[in-house]
């Protein structure tokens, strides 16, 4: 019998969709220390300006800010320390090969809890230029107008 998977999205990086073309996404676990999990459960984190880099066969996320848990008296951790991502070696090699291509980057999209475990959704993304960003905004506005016109037609 299949188990029901519960997913609770804690934080999302909406800016990534504005700055990049998302081509593929991957799921990875996050190696956390101490009370960081409690802080993340309280949604006290930010993905703004964070990025993923692969070094020595391991994937790390940099500049993910996790606010220190206020009731933690034992350890004082740096809120922006690099955190290791839990991926299979085969996945890491594949991501490293794709990320080395010029113009591509590994970008975190969202942090969520899946069956009680902290996960992060990574994207293999290609950077947008200013003209691409304007085109995306224009298409979004046109779609919004068309939907409004369609809704208005149905009402009458």
Residues 14-42 have pLDDT tens digits of: 888 888 889 999 999 999 988 889 999 99
Residue 104 lies in a domain: yes
Residue 72 lies in a domain: yes
Residue 1 lies in a domain: no
Per DSSP, the three-state class of 17 is helix
pTM, two decimal places = 0.81
pLDDT computed for residue 51 by the predictor: 92
Return the CATH number at 38.
2.40.280.10
Residue 82 lies in a domain: yes
Residue 135 lies in a domain: no
pLDDT computed for residue 1 by the predictor: 55
Per DSSP, the three-state class of 153 is helix
For residues 43 and 129, what is the distance between their CA atoms, to the nearest angstrom? 31
Residue 133 lies in a domain: no
pLDDT value at 139 more than 80? yes
CB 111 within 8 A of CB 52: no
Residue 16 lies in a domain: yes
Domain extent, residue 89, equals 7-127
The number of distinct structural domains making up the chain is: 1
79: nearest Cα among 89, 92, 91, 64: 64
Residue 151 lies in a domain: no
């Amino acid at each position: 019998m299949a188990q029901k998977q519960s997913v609770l999205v804690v934080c999302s990086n909406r800016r990534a969709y504005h700055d990049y073309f998302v081509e593929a996404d991957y799921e990875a676990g996050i190696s956390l220390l101490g009370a960081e999990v409690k802080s993340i459960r309280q949604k006290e984190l930010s993905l703004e300006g964070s990025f993923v880099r692969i070094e020595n066969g391991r994937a790390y996320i940099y500049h993910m800010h996790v606010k220190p848990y206020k009731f933690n008296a034992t350890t004082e951790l740096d809120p922006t320390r690099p955190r290791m991502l839990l991926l299979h070696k085969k996945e890491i090699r594949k991501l490293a090969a794709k990320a080395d291509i010029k113009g591509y980057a590994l970008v975190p999209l969202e942090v969520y809890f899946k069956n009680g475990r902290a996960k992060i959704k990574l994207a293999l993304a290609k950077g947008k230029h200013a003209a691409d960003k304007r085109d995306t905004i224009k298409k979004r506005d046109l779609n919004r107008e068309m939907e409004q016109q369609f809704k208005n037609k149905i009402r009458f």
